[in-house]
Amino acid sequence: MMTTRPIDAVLLDMDGTVLNSIRSAERIWGEWAADHGLDVEAFLPTIHGVQSVETIRRLAIPDMDPLVEAAKITQAEREDVEGIEAIAGAAEFLAALADYSWAIVTSAPRDLALSRFGAAGLPMPPLLIAAEDVERGKPAPDCFHLAAKRLATTADRCLVLEDSVAGVQAAEASGALVLVVTETHHVPMDVRHPTILDYRDLAIEKCPDGTLSITRAADDLTGQWISYVLRAPILD
């Protein structure tokens, strides 16, 4: 059985969704956590999917300025891109979206996001919504609402690809359709949304009417196929 979902745009998270920066991020954050006497193994799972300043703010370490510490972390991450690589099939998927409405929506600062995109060899997004573009980061839905608005639509008409709990919660709160990328998951995420391991699990086809069909293979349990039909480009 095939379920068809019309959409106006595709909104993608960055880290863990189109590229894998885990080795770089955990290397830097691990050193920072050790320097501050934290349990590194317990701390590292908390860094994913949210803004750095929020990660530090939640620790509530006395006499620590989260903005200052987050800036140090960001600078270190910007300089250390070793091991960053694209999720399998991501480059081809983004290339297929080239003439359509899509954006990267990330909790990373803009300059860090651009640095990681370059390191992963991915095509630069036509629209990038970064940490400094919204007052409230994920799991608040503000970033997805802003991206949709700038693409002349609304979030409930978008497909969001995410990998983290905070990101999925933000997408849900925005009303968007959600597709979860699990390539970087070491522990299965309990979600009610369709999942893919990586972009090789998607079939992309440009239709005669100009729309783009993005089809997820049948689920092993339900046997259900899902096709997201992306609106044709609006010509000037």
- pLDDT tens readout for residues 12-39: 999 999 999 888 778 887 887 888 888 8
Structure tokens at 62: 């006395």
Quickly list H helices, the chain. 22-35, 40-43, 52-59, 66-79, 90-96, 110-120, 142-150, 165-174
236 part of the active site:
no
Cα gap 142→145, rounded to integer Å: 5
Average pLDDT over residues 65-92: 88
Question: Which is the catalytic residue, given 8, 13, 198, 201?
Answer: 13
Q: Cβ distance 70 to 60 under 8 Å?
A: no
pTM here is: 0.84
CATH superfamily name and code, 2-20+84-230? HAD superfamily/HAD-like (3.40.50.1000)
219 part of the active site:
no
pLDDT of 187 > 70? The answer is no
Instruction: Please report, for the chain, how many H helices and E strands are present, in that order.
Output: 8, 12
pLDDT of 220 > 60? The answer is no
Cα gap 209→60, rounded to integer Å: 54
Rg (CA), the chain: 18
Question: Which is the catalytic residue, given 15, 163, 198, 201?
Answer: 15
Q: What letter does residue 83 receive in the DSSP assignment? A: T
Cα gap 182→175, rounded to integer Å: 21
The pLDDT of residue 219 is 61
